Amino acid sequence: MYWYYGDPIYIVFIVISLAVTLFAQIKVKSAFNKYSKIRSSNGLTGAEAAKNVLEHNKVSGVSINTTTGYFADYYDSRTKGVYLSENVYSEPTLAAVSVAAHECGHATQDEVGYWPIRLRQMLVPVTTTSSRLAMPLVLLGLFLPTKYQFVINLGIILYSVAVLFELVTLPVEFDASRRALKALRESGMLAPEEIKGAKKVLTAAAMTYLAAAFTSLLSLIRLILIARSRRD
């Protein structure tokens, strides 16, 4: 498995995964740092923009809150709350407005019953459990005789659930950004030239989800190859 350090395929997979992840992180940090220094023309903070986006999309009953951490912004369907990091909540920048609008895009999805976010919500508890059990089962199976191949296969099936979660996350995130940009454009909160900047911020952020899904798929392929090699 991952401890076959001399395996050329393993090395290639690791290099590709690291390269994709690093590229995504650089892009999102670069975009956020750039547009965190550009003030929005209307002077709205992230919190104010979030309120306006929710009103524009006719979403009610959603609170807007602060949270600690960097890039720690999220929407919680259980509490019906949008949680914005301090540098997003109180700052009147293009980056802050873009991120806040994106999280409100998730609140809008929840309000209208967007089915991918419903599926993602259902997968959360299953994914939490499967992620904890998958790799220990694969590890255990590798130390057992081949007649216990089913242990590895079970681990791979459980890991596949986590990969499915990553894949379902993609349309959820892309759609939230689409809804955010639409609201910012239609409401006039951002000027046309500012919309371009907001799109760059959200596109860069989406790359992190693409990278996560891609690396998870590579890991799944690697596990399947290991399982097949034990049968040969």
Residues annotated as catalytic (active site), given as ranges: 103
Residue 140, SS3? Answer: helix
- The 10 Å CB-count burial string (b at 16+, else e) for 85-120 is bebbbebbbbbbbbbbbbbbbbbbbbbeebebbeeb
The long-range contacts involving 15-20, CB below 8 angstroms and separated by at least 24 positions, are 16/218, 17/214, 17/215, 17/218, 17/219, 20/211, 20/214, 20/215
Question: What residue has token string 């379902």?
Answer: 168
Give the residue among 222, 78, 106 at the shortest CA–CA distance from 169. Answer: 106
- The CA distance from 166 to 178, in Å, is 19
- The CA distance from 43 to 97, in Å, is 10
Residue 36's alpha-carbon distances to 147, 160, 179, in angstroms, are: 57, 37, 21
**DSSP letters for 74-121:** EEETTTTEEEEEHHHHS--BHHHHHHHHHHHHHHHHHHHT-HHHHHHH
